[in-house]
A and B are shown apart, each in its own frame.
Chain A
Amino acid sequence: MRVAIIKYNAGNIQSVSFALERLGVDFSITEDSEEIQRAEKVIFPGVGEASTTMNYLKSRNLDRIIVSLRQPVLGICLGMQLMCKYSEENNTECLGVFPEEVKRFLPLRDMKVPHMGWNNLLLKDGWLDPAINCLYAYFVHSYYVPVNPFTSAVTEYINPFSAALHHKNFYAVQFHPEKSAVAGELVLKSFLNL
Chain B
Amino acid sequence: MLTKRIIPCLDIKDGRTVKGVNFINIRDAGDPVELGAEYARQGADELVFLDISATNEERKTLADLVRDIARHINIPFTVGGGITSVGDVAPLLEAGADKVSVNSSAVKNPALIDELSKAFGSQCIVLAIDARKMENQWIVHTHGGKKPSDKKLFSWAKEGQERGAGEILFTSMDHDGTKMGFANDPLEKLHNSLSIPVIASGGAGEMGHFIDAFLIGKADAALAASIFHFGEIKIPELKQYLHRRNINVRM
A129-154 at interface with B (beta carbon < 8 Å): 136, 138, 140
Q: Are A116's CB and B71's CB within 8 A?
A: no
Report if A117-B2 is in contact (Cβ < 8 Å); known contacts: A11-B93, A14-B95, A179-B98. yes
Q: Does A120 contact B (CB under 8 A)?
A: yes
* Nearest CB of chain B from residue A174's CB, rounded to whole Å: 13
Is A48 on the interface with B (CB-CB < 8 A)? yes
Note all chain B residues with C-beta closer than 8 A to A107: 195
Asked whether, in the complex, the Cβ of B96 is within 8 Å of the Cβ of A181, the reply is no
Closest to B5 in A: A117
A: interface residue count bin? 35 or more
Residue of B67, B94, B124, B250 near A118 (CB, 8 A) is B250
- Chain B residues, CB < 8 A from A14: 67, 70, 94-96
Within 8 A of A (CB), among B58-81: 67, 70-72, 74-76
* Interface hits, A153-194 → B, CB 8 Å: 156-157, 176, 178-182, 184-185
- Give A31-59 interface residues, CB cut-off 8 Å to B: 47-49
Cβ-based interface call for A112 (8 A): yes
**Given A11-B93, A181-B40, A110 contacting B191 (CB threshold 8 A):** yes
Contact A116 B123 (CB under 8 A): yes
- Docked-complex contact A185 and B197, CB < 8 angstroms: no
Q: Is the CB of A119 within 8 A of B3?
A: yes
B134 is an interface residue with CB less than 8 A from chain A: no
B130 at the binding interface (Cβ < 8 Å): no
Chain B 1-15, CB-CB to A under 8 Å as 1, else 0, gives 111010000000000
Complex interface: stretch among A18-26, A66-74, A95-103? A18-26
Q: How far is the CB of A97 from chain B (nearest CB, A)?
A: 24
Question: Cβ of A117 and Cβ of B123 under 8 Å apart?
Answer: no
- Tell me the smallest distance from the CB of A9 to a CB of chain B, in Å: 11
Taking the complex as formed, is B207 at the interface, i.e. its CB lies under 8 A from any CB of chain A?
Answer: no
Of B45, B67, B191, B221, most buried by chain A (CB within 10 Å of CB) is B45
Contacting B at CB under 8 A, from A79-126, are 107, 110-120
Most-contacted residue by chain A among B71, B95, B120, B250 (CB, 10 A): B250
Residue from the set B2, B70, B93 with the largest chain A CB neighbour count within 10 Å? B2
Given A114-B166, A136-B250, CB of A119 within 8 Å of CB of B2: yes
CB-based contact A157/B123 at 8 Å: no
Tell me whether B2 and A118 are in contact (CB under 8 A).
yes
B231 within 8 A of A: no
In contact, A138 and B195 (Cβ under 8 angstroms): no
Which 4 pairs from chain A and chain B are nearest by CB? A136-B250, A118-B250, A14-B96, A118-B3
- Give 4 A-B pairs besides A22-B72, A118-B250, A179-B75 with Cβ atoms closer than 8 angstroms: A22-B71, A48-B121, A140-B98, A180-B74
A-B contact pairs, 24 of them (CB 8 A): A11-B121, A15-B70, A47-B121, A49-B121, A110-B218, A111-B2, A114-B122, A114-B123, A116-B123, A116-B167, A117-B2, A117-B5, A118-B3, A118-B5, A118-B250, A119-B1, A157-B2, A176-B76, A179-B74, A179-B75, A179-B76, A180-B75, A181-B75, A182-B74
